[in-house]
Structure 1
Amino acid sequence: MLVLACAPVTLAQIPENNKADSALVQQLETSWLSAERTTDAALLDRVMADDFVGIGANGQTPGKAQLLKNWRSQAGQAPPYTVETSDMRVFVLGETAVATYTKTYTAKENGNIAHEDVTDIFTRQHGSWKLRLSRSSPH
């Protein structure tokens, strides 16, 4: 059984390297969002670890190969929705980083809105951060 305990931490207590790593992970999240808006499979390929697993709000669990196949078939096509993120927080724990945020999708056709809570887990591989697992659930 794994038990995690969290204590309040102020920015002054966060080591400088954690701040830099946190900024890098936030930039990767921003890049991922940009790739989603433009269906850029090449960028997704660079961000995801080879053993990436996604656990979607719909219960599907695509791996990297399946996601890239889907994105490549739609390369360059704008999705039928807009997407934004909010409330992003990044926690760096050594060679692992966890990003949490809310994603808001707005359908272009009818304006319907859907929200997802997202948790992404990154690990540092050979000096680079890679997205290893992404879990989303209805907000």
Structure 2
Amino acid sequence: MNIAELLELEHQGWSSLCNRTGADFYGRLMTPDGVMVLAHGLVLEREEVVTSLNDAPPWRTYEISDERLVELNDDAVALVYTGRASRGDGDDFHALMSTVYRRRHGSWRLALYQQTPIPPAG
């Protein structure tokens, strides 16, 4: 498994959230039965993700760190990392992320994405 290839997909995803093309990007990347488990307590299916991203305010900056790859089998992996993002208006986001990818027809597709918020230090 190549962590660089999967990190590139994560960067493409975050970039799409910054430039307001997230609905199109995740609509293509997610498996038909894919879900996102979000930090604010929602579980969204693929079509709900696409709909929600159509009107989402863009992120201004993002950072991926502490990334690691967990191989599940030849065609499934989990990418785990710490993510930080900011909209520049005090709306900052800091969480542990897990993305499960499944290889379908030679391409990686997002099957499950999960966020666990990291509380502010203090």
Would you tell me which structure has more strand in proportion to its own residues?
Answer: 2
**In the aligned structure 2, how far is the partner of 1:23 from the partner of 1:82?**
20
Q: TM-score, with normalisation over the residues of structure 2?
A: 0.83
8 Å Cα contact 2:59-2:85 kept in structure 1: no
Q: CA RMSD in A?
A: 1.9
Distance 2:97 2:79 in 1: 8
Please state how far the C-alpha of 1:88 moved relative to its aligned partner: 1.5
Which residue of 100, 103, 111 corresponds with 1:124? Answer: 103
Report the more deviating stretch, 32-41 or 79-88: 79-88
**Aligned partners of 1:128 and 1:80: how far apart in 2?**
27
| Structure 1 spans left out of the alignment, 5+ residues | 1-17
Cα gap change, 1:98 to 1:106, in 2 (>3 Å): same
Between stretches 119-128 and 64-73, larger displacement belongs to 64-73
What is the identity percentage for the equivalent residue pairs of Structure 1 and Structure 2?
24
Runs of 5+ consecutive residues of structure 2 not aligned to the other structure? none
- CA–CA separation in structure 2 for the residues paired with 1:61 and 1:24: 26
Q: Which has the larger radius of gyration?
A: 1
Q: TM-score normalized by structure 1? A: 0.74
Report the residue type matching 2:99 in the other structure: D
- 2:35 corresponds in structure 1 to 53
One-letter amino acid matched to 1:47? L
The residue that corresponds to 2:18 in the other structure is: 37
Are the aligned partners of 1:26 and 1:90 in contact in 2 as well (CA < 8 Å)?
no
